[in-house]
């Protein structure tokens, strides 16, 4: 019997289990066996760690957050495939993985991961290891695919937080700052900001300044609205392109960095009560939304189709209503940022939402 391997790599997100279940069920239909490697790429070698996956062993996981296979962020298999910077996976690891694939009789390996994890998959492909990629990130910033699963669940979480902040902000006539995830792109901030009635949305894609932010707050006050909700993406830059502490040192951003600065500066400039909430990993945990379950299930099923068709080295991409694929190499390293002239930003502006870049 032929066999399909699957692994989940990088930061987790809601919907990973739905991908696993979808792939297992679809494999079963086509007569493949399925194994799941544990802890991302780590489970492929020294020690090889895997479990047999069957429709019955994956029963009930559709609605569960996280990943039953576990995941590793930045383990031994770190790689980049950029034009200028290319970090190679150690040859002994590649050899080890080849052995595992051969010994277990794996026809194709489904790698579910974000940019970094897909770079590993690309290097595997170049070395003749049969892989297909499934894009994953709550940040929704992978190119070639309109939506990544997990994004909708994260937006749902951030919107719920804004709903809650709304009532307490109104009661206390306060300014509330909510920092949401989005290291390079402001998709979560934009969508949750619109869905949760944010008044100011600060994104990495739009240069903003303190005067416009404060002006919006004062304008609301003059209209009798004594509270304001400010949504800020963790990757937003300070005015003038200035970087927040960790951004400046080039290190991984600490959650709460930009949110704290925004909160303190507004407090200082306007002498009002401002409070900060940092949503952090709450956005990555918990049950996937129905949208993400449907999307993730499609990714799982179509990943099996790609293996069956031997379309290795490809990454699935959802371009509604199609689920197509592109070479992984075309998809990695190209961030999909918020379109600053897109329909969502335009609609937000039409409503009077401020992006801090101009008077409203």
Q: Identify the DSSP state of 106.
A: E
Q: In b/e form, how buried is each residue of 158-167, taking b as 16+ CB within 10 angstroms?
A: bbebbeebbe
Nearer to ligand F6P, 114 or 288 (CB): 114
Near ligand F6P by CB under 6 A, which window of 28-36, 85-93, 132-140, 240-248?
132-140
Residues 6+ apart with CB under 8 A from 163: 196, 197
Token pair listed for 222: 């003059």
| From 138, 244, 266, 315, residue interacting with ligand F6P (rule: CB under 6 A) | 138
Contact call for residues 16 and 136 (beta carbons, < 8 A):
yes
Work out whether 258 is an interface residue with ligand F6P (CB under 6 A).
no
Work out whether 308 is an interface residue with ligand F6P (CB under 6 A).
no
Contact call for residues 198 and 230 (beta carbons, < 8 A):
yes
Alpha carbon 337 to its chain's center: 12
Work out whether 142 is an interface residue with ligand F6P (CB under 6 A).
no
102 is in an annotated binding site: no
Catalytic residue among 12, 33, 139, 292: 139
Render 134-203 in DSSP notation, one character per residue: EEB-TT--BTT-S--BTHHHHHHHHHHHHHHHHHHHHHHT-EEEEEE--SS--HHHHHHHHHTT-SEEE-
139 is in an annotated binding site: yes
Work out whether 40 is an interface residue with ligand F6P (CB under 6 A).
no
Min separation Cβ 162 and ligand F6P, Å: 17
Min separation Cβ 296 and ligand F6P, Å: 16
21 is in an annotated binding site: no
Q: In b/e form, how buried is each residue of 45-54, taking b as 16+ CB within 10 angstroms?
A: beebebeebe
| From 181, 295, 323, 345, residue interacting with ligand F6P (rule: CB under 6 A) | 181
**How many residues of this chain interact with ligand F6P, rule: CB under 6 A?**
11
283 is in an annotated binding site: yes
Near ligand F6P by CB under 6 A, which window of 49-57, 175-183, 297-305, 335-343?
175-183
Work out whether 182 is an interface residue with ligand F6P (CB under 6 A).
yes
284 is in an annotated binding site: yes
Near ligand F6P by CB under 6 A, which window of 116-124, 135-143, 165-173, 317-325?
135-143
Contact call for residues 282 and 159 (beta carbons, < 8 A):
no
Work out whether 11 is an interface residue with ligand F6P (CB under 6 A).
yes
Active site annotation includes 46: no
| From 22, 62, 119, 139, residue interacting with ligand F6P (rule: CB under 6 A) | 139
Min separation Cβ 114 and ligand F6P, Å: 6
Give the integer Cα–Cα distance in Å for 291 and 299.
Answer: 12
Work out whether 73 is an interface residue with ligand F6P (CB under 6 A).
yes
Nearer to ligand F6P, 96 or 256 (CB): 256
Work out whether 254 is an interface residue with ligand F6P (CB under 6 A).
no
Work out whether 183 is an interface residue with ligand F6P (CB under 6 A).
yes
Task: Indicate the burial class of 357 (C-beta count within 10 angstroms; 0-12, 13-18, 19 or more).
Answer: middle
Say whether 9 sits in a helix, a strand or coil.
coil
Half-sphere exposure at residue 285, Cβ-oriented, CA atoms within 13 angstroms: 4
Q: Which of residues 260-289 bind ligand F6P (CB under 6 A)?
A: 284
269 is in an annotated binding site: no
Say whether 110 sits in a helix, a strand or coil.
strand
| From 100, 137, 153, 247, residue interacting with ligand F6P (rule: CB under 6 A) | 137
Give the integer Cα–Cα distance in Å for 53 and 33.
Answer: 8
Which residues belong to the annotated binding site for substrate? 137-139, 174, 181-183, 234, 275, 281-284
> Residues interacting with ligand F6P, by CB under 6 A?
11, 73, 114, 137-139, 181-183, 234, 284
Which residues belong to the annotated binding site for Mg(2+)? 115
Could you give the residue numbers annotated as active site?
139
């Amino acid at each position: 019997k032929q066999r399909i391997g699957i692994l989940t790599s990088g930061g987790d997100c809601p919907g990973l289990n739905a991908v696993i279940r979808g792939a297992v069920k679809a494999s079963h239909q086509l007569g493949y066996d399925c194994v799941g490697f544990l802890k991302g790429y780590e489970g492929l070698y020294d020690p090889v760690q895997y479990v047999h996956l069957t429709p019955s062993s994956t029963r009930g996981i559709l609605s569960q957050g996280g990943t039953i296979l576990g995941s590793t962020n930045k383990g031994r298999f770190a790689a980049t495939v950029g034009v200028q910077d290319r970090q190679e996976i150690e040859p002994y690891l590649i050899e080890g993985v080849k052995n595992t694939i051969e010994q277990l009789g794996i026809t194709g390996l489904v790698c579910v991961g974000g940019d970094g994890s897909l770079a590993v998959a690309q290097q595997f492909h170049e070395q003749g290891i049969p892989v297909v990629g499934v894009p994953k990130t709550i940040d929704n910033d992978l190119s070639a695919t309109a939506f990544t699963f997990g994004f909708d669940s994260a937006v749902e979480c951030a919107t719920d937080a804004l709903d809650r902040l709304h009532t307490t902000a109104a009661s206390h006539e306060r300014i509330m700052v909510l920092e949401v995830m989005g290291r390079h792109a402001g998709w979560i901030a934009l969508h949750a900001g619109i869905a949760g009635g944010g008044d100011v949305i600060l994104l990495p894609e739009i240069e903003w300044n303190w005067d416009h932010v404060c002006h919006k707050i004062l304008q609301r006050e003059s209209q009798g609205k004594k509270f304001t909700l400010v949504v800020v993406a963790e990757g937003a830059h300070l005015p003038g392109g200035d970087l927040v502490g960790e951004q400046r040192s080039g290190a991984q951003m600490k959650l709460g960095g930009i949110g704290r600065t925004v909160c303190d500066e507004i407090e200082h400039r306007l002498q009002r009560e401002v409070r900060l909430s940092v949503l952090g990993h709450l956005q990555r945990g918990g049950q996937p939304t129905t949208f993400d379950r449907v999307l993730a299930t499609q990714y799982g099923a179509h990943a099996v189709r790609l293996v069956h068709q031997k379309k290795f080295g490809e990454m699935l991409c959802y371009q509604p209503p199609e689920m197509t694929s592109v070479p992984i190499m075309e998809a990695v390293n190209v961030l999909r940022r918020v379109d600053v002239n897109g329909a969502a930003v335009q609609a937000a502006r039409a409503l009077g939402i401020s992006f801090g870049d101009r008077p409203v």
